[in-house]
Amino acid sequence: MKQSVGERLFQLFNYTLLIVLASTMIAPLLQLLAVSFSSPIAADSKQVFLIPVDFTLATWEHILQNEVLWRAFGVTVFITIVGTFLSMLFTVLTAFPLSRKDFLLRKPIMLMMVITMIFNAPMIPFFLTVREVGLMDSIWALIIPGLISTFNMVIVRTFFLGIPSDLDDAARIDGCNEFRLLFQIYLQLSKPVLATISLFYAVGYWNTFKTAVLFLRDPTLWPLQMRLRAFFTSEEELAAVDLIMGDFDFNTTTLKAATIIFATVPIVLVYPYLQKYFVKGAVLGSLKE
């Protein structure tokens, strides 16, 4: 169907607005990337915008040889992969029975879970509870306390409610029990919402900071965000950088830019692989009822 002039103008306005918004989000990352490949003099004198000035790899050579940073990266990758898997498993196992109309306790349980979205646990009782169960200075303290997000569970449950009940009857005639019904039918039909929620969980685990501050005293267990915070706020570490860079190939400005890119890009690269599911999963999971 041929579009009217008004429709084309509206579409042009939308595209222009989205391009401008996308540019405001991408430009800071590109600027930091350019700074990380620039000379210290150019970086400190604010000569760098989107293209490196006096191109050098010295900063990245220093970053990639930093064992402490790689250890923090490994911790973050571990909690992201294991945490996302466990969170998805328990979210699905919680959402499925709460979507069953023949489950008598689904309404009171759902009410109690929704209340937690409005009233969060106070920090001190939360800290004392985690300490009493023996999770202090344990990498599992970054995973178990936030294993299930009520918001994400509600989205998955709502998606399950939109699956026709005729499939349940047909599956039971074929001899399916509840577990086979969940894993062989429901999950196969729920790939969009599962990909979307997996991305939500993965980003949350990748950006873990608050729980690390509360529960980890051992620096060898610090995730990447905690390590970056310690690096940026430690005057001794920043001064050490200035002392060891005898050839002036990098300084604290280029080093900060490179570490931010190092911590941000890996999780950003996950999104393109899930993009085809993202919008569909979020919309269906939030609107179907």
* pLDDT digit string, tens, across residues 50-67: 888 888 888 888 888 888
Mean pLDDT score of the chain = 82
Is the pLDDT at 233 greater than 70, yes or no?
A: yes
Contact by Cβ (8 Å): 201, 84: yes
Classify residue 119 by its DSSP letter: S
67-219 adopts what CATH topology? MetI-like fold (1.10.3720)
169: three-class secondary structure by DSSP: helix
Q: What percent of the chain shows pLDDT beyond 90?
A: 14
CA atoms 33, 34, 37, 39: torsion sign: negative
Q: How confident is the model over 108-166, as pLDDT tens digits? A: 888 888 888 888 778 888 888 888 888 888 899 999 988 998 899 998 998 888 888 77
Q: What is the pLDDT of residue 239?
A: 52
Task: Evaluate if residue 289 carries a pLDDT over 50.
Answer: no
Residue 242 pLDDT: 53
pLDDT at res. 80: 93
Average the pLDDT over 46-53 and give the result.
83
User: Distance (Å, rounded) from C-alpha 13 to C-alpha 284?
Assistant: 27
pTM (2 decimals)?
Answer: 0.81
- Both ends of the chain: CA-CA distance in Å? 32
Q: Is 113 left (phi over 0), alpha (psi -120 to 50) or beta?
A: alpha
Residues of the chain with CATH 1.10.3720.10: 67-219
> What pLDDT score was predicted for residue 77?
93
Q: What percent of the chain has pLDDT over 70?
A: 88
